[in-house]
Structure 1
Amino acid sequence: MASVIAPRLFIVAYLLTLAHHFVLGEKQYTAYNYGFDVHRRVRRQFAQPSTMIVMGNAATQAGDVQVRREIRELEQDREVWTLYLLGMSMMQFTDQSSPTSWYGITGIHGMPHQTWGGVRPTPGNEETGYCTHSSILFPTWHRPYLALYEQVLSNVIRMIATWWPEDQKQPYVDAAKRFRIPYWDWATYPPSGGSVLPMSVGGSPFVDIDGPSGVQRISNPLFSYTFRPLNTTAFRQAPWNTWSETLRSPTNWGPGAQSNNSMVAMTIDQNQRSLSQRLYILFSNYGNYSRFSNNAWIPFVNNASYDSIESLHDTIHNLAGGGGIGQLNIRGGHMSFIPYSAFDPIFFLHHAMVDRIFAMWQTLYPQSWVTPTTAVLNSYTTARGQVQDSRTPLTPFFADANGAFWTSDSVRDFTKFGYTYTELTDLASPRKAQAGVRRAINRLYGASSPANMFLRELRAQGIKGGRGRGGTSRAGQQSSQHSPAGGVASNMEGAVEGDSYREWIVNIRAKKQALDGPYSIYFFFGTPPSNKEDWAQAENHVGTMGVFAADGAGMGGMMEAMKELEVSGTVPLTTGLIKAVQGGELEGLQPEEVVRFLRERLVISVLGPEGREFGVSEVKGLKLSVGSFRVRLPGSEDELPVWGEEEGTFDLV
């Protein structure tokens, strides 16, 4: 009972803070008051041309590589956390005309479609951002982008640290040296009683901060970003030209809208298991960079590999922004729309997580890298049809004062930017590093994986699970007599054969702009609730794939190509099937039983813009199929499952 009550108590806390936000109405919180004109100092420091060069953290030149920590862990380091909030706040209150202000840095990604650092657009691409979506460069482009943000924020933080009184200054000066931007781990189980969405990010629009001039209540820089001023010349279309701050799951589609972070928290919490499984599968089954890196469906490249880090990333954008989660007449907040997403402070937390996944993946598969691939979309400086490779400039990120840009090859070693991650602190021995990464993956993301569920049950019954010498295992030899999951022995016959089991996955192909905005594809075993806002929390909800899209006004230079672009992703079914066996809905996991069950009970619905429900036949270009794979069980915590080729598929649409 406690495990059920705790999340509800957390959501109550979210609702209370949200109610407080409503009561406060239009109250605007301010920046920290240091007692002098801080922005004059900021302008003077960042007026230097060197601020446009992405050099990594300044301490890197001395060989100082620091760890990027999960945001909840960073909160426990009081001095660093204080500096982080003060630094973000200062960036957000810096004049928007500065290229190193919050507006200037986040505007690189999409809106307001302005030139940064003098890097001019390719003619005809003026109404797009620099970001390379659905591209072989998707993971590598974001690496120097994050490094630029980290560099600017670190410089601000180092400056702030010197403003404490002399007898209090040193702990903050030391803390500034070890600061690196945090990431938000949306795939692991949250602390007991908590939500996947941290309270520091979605709990309150204000925060009490103990800075150089004492405790003050300031605007929470993780909750939202307020435009000062709102650029209605660039943001021409409603509601973007009426929303003066970034919103998540907005309460309405008009000028008075506010964030509904409780809805975001509940929706992400209910999708956490599916997100974790998708990530676990990416680590164990996607060893080819071309397939891992991006969501563009390219025949003869993807083959049976439908998922990607970009597709998983897209689902988080939709969930965090509130796009396609069933709210009537609401299309979602800033994070759900490509052109506006970077303005939301959660964007960099999310993308630091994506970079961490990328860095861990690199450690597992060091030989696979960027191969020449034709771009399917325009960006501000690249054209559709252009061949992109590992030497393509990652614009607008300068690597030196001579005008050279970073490339995928030059960002391959992430430590040159002065950061690493906890799982990657010992890279001297590749073999040990890989074993350490696999242990971390199993610990953080393996709990809900069917492979580990089977192993836990087998070991609980005193049976040695996993691979033994010669590729066999005692677990496999006796699997027909034992229950690999949840203590349902007789119904699990056939689940584990030899040293392997069978995974079932929905493969999805969809037109990115099929509904002219972000949408989500929901999968249920049986009929979904009548209230669409309850879909994500439904007991029979199996998983969701989000399609990260744009509105008509935000991507003028890309819209024609985006309307034809096919993207792909997956939703794992096996854990849901195990649950169906445990609940008596499914007789067993033999292939013929599973196929019959899926044909009879799998229900698919699409939630599009404004909370409207679409049938699968109404979504242009939507293609769905179910694939099955034999997966070999890991033999230890140092190993991951080994996936075989797809053995059988059948079409749903």
Structure 2
Amino acid sequence: MVSCNWATTALLTLLTLSSSGVHAAPKKYKPDPDQIKEKRQLLQTINTNQPLTRVPITLATIGTIGTIGPTFTRDPATLSTTATLLTLGTLPATRIPVTLQTVATNTLPTLGTLSATRIPATLQTLATTSSTLPVYTPPTTPPGYGYTTPGTTSSSSIRTTTSSTRTSSTSATPTYTPVTGANTTCYNRLKIDVLQRTDPDQFNMLVLAWQKIQASPDSDPFSHYQLSGIHGAPYIPWQMGPGSYDYNRGYCTHGSALFTTWHRPYLLALEQSLFHAAMAIANQFTPTAVRTQYLAAAGRVRLPYWDWSDPVTQSYLPPITMQQTVTVTRPDGSGNPVTATITNPLFAYNFLSSTSVAPFGTPWNTRLSTRRYPDGSWNDRSYLASSSMQSGFTSRVTNTYNAFLSTTYNLFSNRVEGVHDSIHGAVGGGGQMSYVAYSAFDPIFWLHHCNVDRLMAMFQATSPSLFVTPASAVGTFARPVPPNTIDDASTDLFPFRRADGSWYKSSHLHPANTIWGMRYGYPEVPCSYQTRTPAELDTFTTGQVNTLYGGGRTLPGTSREWNVRLLIDQAEIPGGYDIYVYGGTRPQDPYSDPYGKGYIGSLSSMSMGSVDQYKQSRIRFVDVSLNSYLKEYGYGGADPYKITEYIRKDLTYTIIANGKPCYFQDLYTAKYAVYSRDVYDSGKDDVLPYYTSDPYYHLNVTEGYVGGIKYLDEILYPVKVDGSREVPWAEVNSTRIQT
């Protein structure tokens, strides 16, 4: 990691201006200077002769601001930093302390001694020394080898250690189950409300199966408990042999180019568990005709999705996910079909006992059920989650559509992940969905991620030549990575194995038609197209994308797409935080009602599991479309001069960190920028729009405000917390020739 200082700014700016693909907006768009009567703080001069390092900081609720005069010093050996950041006037008493970790570039944070009750003894054995990554030697039996039915596990014991990277060991090679999905024919995964309405037998078997795996013992690797735990807590290996593990994080690849691909076999593992559970239940019916009926329905059981950008249902939570009970047909003790009302497994997951949550951090080790927007008594308020989701629908559908215009797969993945992150925040409201470590325990997590996988399949169909390209690696539970490590299509997607015992890789998941071999499709990438050509699939899926998400198309012709880019090094603030954008009529108190009137979009960074845990240093950004907002307030067809003048005065930003106010002037890496780009739409249903210009960043909108960019290099070569610079997703000339 190379440190930079302000002396490099001129060179970087020169490189920026000379590079193709990005331009500063022509000055003719800049409005005349005027007095802007807003509560936003104006940017003040910073001493540019100092290096770009700032670690520790204090997030303060700022009153009258004095001069900013930072003095930065850095010890190269430790990367620790001290700074005099602000000469403050009157400050309120409430302050949010934030101190960034100082971590050497080749080590992981060190934990204190862990209690022996941290990880259930039946799940994992821990040793204290090793320097190897997880390895597995498959049995020598024929193909299909190693297969064990869901529920098989090995007993073990536990040791404790003071290292955050520890090695597990077992006395024998662990059993494992390849992640292969269902073993019947290919069936489409359906939208949850469509499934409930059009195939009630399959829905019935899905609910019964999910109830069954939620009631399975915690020691069952295909139980809801262990499958959910792969994502984060309780930080235990899942069907893996001895190796070095990072017990600070789960297996998930958030913030990585592998974000979309890793979650595909993850979803497939749950689908496989649901399928087998459904088949077992169907076999319990004794009347032949009834058993035949429900065996056929169980064979169709696939994981449903929640399309949070659907123009019909918009972003409201599916009604079934907010019902505490559900009526089903199930076999009684004699195998006869009976109607019963049961606890709805799609509403919440109830942990089996206090032992289940004992390994979790505070307060999760006392929460015996999942909740959304819980009140002080831990009562569920999913109706607030549904309302919060709907308020962001307009921009969400545009951001989803724009993801399909991406000219690299990595950019597509980042755009979808940005939308995905904001949904976790809007749905969780302080419940499990708001925390990376615990989100997968909430059943709605799986419906949410199934839609992410669906969008991935659709993009693969419409852009078959694009896929994962090398990018900076993100460390996971099974893959602690040193600096400069790269993720690419050949990176192992731990902990998931294929039928031959090898690890899944992203390359195994491309092109789009590989999902059919996993026995599932989507309505937009349907199983019925297995005999069609890739070109025919491209045409069909493109038409579906335009129909579903292209409601604001200008046909035919060129229009301008306006966006605000929000950016931050995710390591600057511990815990979870959000940067919200508002326009027009805004909520009176955005801190208590962040998704109220005027909400346009946000950058969300979920907490890893606690409010004092820092994430790996990495630049994260989100592009929030402004087009719907501009149209709503009468600027949809305005010229760029009027638009930049309007949004410069109107847009405001709010930062909430761990439920408390935070401000741009207290942060070092948080930035926002406004850019526009020309998009041409042929008007053809089977052709996606495409960019006909490079991005134009409108510096006149942001240069006068704290957090707003003044120079292009601030957004193209953003500064990380250690002073180095990162190019998260390189901007390229993306004009495409259509035939």
Normalised by the length of structure 2, the TM-score is 0.67
Measured after TM superposition, the shift of residue 614 of structure 1 is: 2.7
Counterpart amino acid of residue 141 in structure 1: W
Structure 2 residue matching 1:352: 3-state secondary structure = helix
CA distance in 2, matches of 1:649, 1:102: 48
Q: Which runs of 5 or more residues in structure 2 are unaligned? A: 1-147, 154-173, 333-337, 703-707, 710-739
Partner of 1:200: 320
Measured after TM superposition, the shift of residue 587 of structure 1 is: 9.8
Partner of 1:419: 520
Partner of 1:637: 685
Measured after TM superposition, the shift of residue 647 of structure 1 is: 2.6
Is the contact made by 1:513 and 1:549 (CA closer than 8 Å) also made in structure 2? no
| 1:153 corresponds to 2:274 | yes
CA distance in 1, matches of 2:472, 2:573: 25
Q: Which runs of 5 or more residues in structure 1 are unaligned? A: 1-42, 295-307, 323-331, 456-464, 467-498
Partner of 1:354: 452
Distance 1:526 1:272, change over 3 A: closer
Counterpart amino acid of residue 272 in structure 2: Q
Counterpart amino acid of residue 431 in structure 1: A
Partner of 2:575: 517
| 1:648 corresponds to 2:707 | no
Structure 2 residue matching 1:645: 3-state secondary structure = coil
Is the contact made by 1:80 and 1:176 (CA closer than 8 Å) also made in structure 2? yes
Partner of 1:258: 379
CA distance in 1, matches of 2:438, 2:503: 25
Measured after TM superposition, the shift of residue 127 of structure 1 is: 2.7
Is the contact made by 1:512 and 1:566 (CA closer than 8 Å) also made in structure 2? yes
CA distance in 1, matches of 2:612, 2:535: 46
Partner of 1:485: none
Partner of 1:494: none
- Which of these residues, 225, 242, 246, is aligned with residue 370 of structure 2? 246
Any residues of structure 2 matched to 1:490-501 within 5 Å, and which? 499-501=557-559
Deviation digits for residues 98-136 of structure 1 (CA, Å, limit 9, x no counterpart) = 11111011111110000110244535x123211122112
Distance 1:250 1:515, change over 3 A: farther
Deviation digits for residues 254-300 of structure 1 (CA, Å, limit 9, x no counterpart) = xx31221011000101111111110100012x131122223xxxxxx
Distance 1:315 1:587, change over 3 A: closer
CA distance in 2, matches of 1:131, 1:45: 22
Partner of 1:289: 409
Is the contact made by 2:566 and 2:579 (CA closer than 8 Å) also made in structure 1? no
CA distance in 1, matches of 2:402, 2:638: 20
Partner of 1:443: 547
- Which of these residues, 200, 210, 213, is aligned with residue 88 of structure 1? 210
Distance 1:541 1:368, change over 3 A: same
Measured after TM superposition, the shift of residue 514 of structure 1 is: 3.9
Distance 1:87 1:50, change over 3 A: farther
Distance 1:120 1:276, change over 3 A: farther
Measured after TM superposition, the shift of residue 602 of structure 1 is: 1.0
Any residues of structure 2 matched to 1:108-147 within 5 Å, and which? 108-123=230-245, 125-147=246-268
Structure 2 residue matching 1:501: 3-state secondary structure = strand
Percent identity between matched residues is 29
Structure 1 residue matching 2:339: 3-state secondary structure = strand
Counterpart amino acid of residue 443 in structure 1: T
| 1:507 corresponds to 2:555 | no
Distance 1:438 1:554, change over 3 A: farther
Counterpart amino acid of residue 433 in structure 1: L
- Which of these residues, 189, 192, 207, is aligned with residue 68 of structure 1? 189
Partner of 1:26: none
Measured after TM superposition, the shift of residue 53 of structure 1 is: 1.0
Counterpart amino acid of residue 216 in structure 2: T
Is the contact made by 2:274 and 2:301 (CA closer than 8 Å) also made in structure 1? no
Is the contact made by 2:284 and 2:331 (CA closer than 8 Å) also made in structure 1? yes
Partner of 2:422: 315
* The structure with more radius of gyration: 2
Is the contact made by 1:249 and 1:259 (CA closer than 8 Å) also made in structure 2? yes
Normalised by the length of structure 1, the TM-score is 0.75
- Which of these residues, 395, 400, 407, is aligned with residue 494 of structure 2? 395
Distance 1:578 1:390, change over 3 A: same
Structure 2 residue matching 1:112: 3-state secondary structure = coil
Measured after TM superposition, the shift of residue 432 of structure 1 is: 2.1
Measured after TM superposition, the shift of residue 535 of structure 1 is: 4.2
Structure 1 residue matching 2:674: 3-state secondary structure = strand
Partner of 1:381: 479
Measured after TM superposition, the shift of residue 513 of structure 1 is: 4.4
- Which of these residues, 553, 570, 590, is aligned with residue 639 of structure 2? 590
Partner of 1:600: 649
Measured after TM superposition, the shift of residue 83 of structure 1 is: 0.4
Counterpart amino acid of residue 259 in structure 2: F
Counterpart amino acid of residue 413 in structure 2: S
Structure 2 residue matching 1:227: 3-state secondary structure = coil
Structure 2 residue matching 1:436: 3-state secondary structure = helix
Any residues of structure 2 matched to 1:333-372 within 5 Å, and which? 333-372=431-470
Measured after TM superposition, the shift of residue 404 of structure 1 is: 1.4
Measured after TM superposition, the shift of residue 356 of structure 1 is: 0.4
Structure 2 residue matching 1:636: 3-state secondary structure = coil
Deviation digits for residues 470-490 of structure 1 (CA, Å, limit 9, x no counterpart) = xxxxxxxxxxxxxxxxxxxxx
Measured after TM superposition, the shift of residue 408 of structure 1 is: 1.1
Is the contact made by 1:339 and 1:554 (CA closer than 8 Å) also made in structure 2? no
Structure 1 residue matching 2:261: 3-state secondary structure = helix
Measured after TM superposition, the shift of residue 228 of structure 1 is: 1.1
CA distance in 1, matches of 2:294, 2:549: 34
Structure 2 residue matching 1:291: 3-state secondary structure = helix
Partner of 1:79: 201
CA distance in 2, matches of 1:634, 1:361: 19
CA distance in 1, matches of 2:582, 2:411: 27
Measured after TM superposition, the shift of residue 553 of structure 1 is: 7.4
| 1:103 corresponds to 2:252 | no
CA distance in 1, matches of 2:410, 2:347: 35
Distance 1:526 1:116, change over 3 A: same
CA distance in 1, matches of 2:675, 2:242: 45
CA distance in 2, matches of 1:287, 1:622: 26
Deviation digits for residues 200-223 of structure 1 (CA, Å, limit 9, x no counterpart) = 002x22222221231222211011
Deviation digits for residues 319-375 of structure 1 (CA, Å, limit 9, x no counterpart) = 1112xxxxxxxxx11111111111110111111100000000001111122223331
Counterpart amino acid of residue 566 in structure 1: I
| 1:568 corresponds to 2:669 | no
Measured after TM superposition, the shift of residue 398 of structure 1 is: 1.2
CA distance in 2, matches of 1:388, 1:554: 27
Partner of 2:17: none
| 1:618 corresponds to 2:666 | yes
Counterpart amino acid of residue 523 in structure 2: T
Distance 1:432 1:116, change over 3 A: same
Paired residues in the alignment total: 518
Deviation digits for residues 455-510 of structure 1 (CA, Å, limit 9, x no counterpart) = 3xxxxxxxxx41xxxxxxxxxxxxxxxxxxxxxxxxxxxxxxxx311111001111
Moved more, 150-159 or 509-518: 509-518
Deviation digits for residues 389-413 of structure 1 (CA, Å, limit 9, x no counterpart) = 2222111111135x41111111222
Counterpart amino acid of residue 354 in structure 1: V
CA distance in 1, matches of 2:229, 2:150: 21
Is the contact made by 2:251 and 2:476 (CA closer than 8 Å) also made in structure 1? no
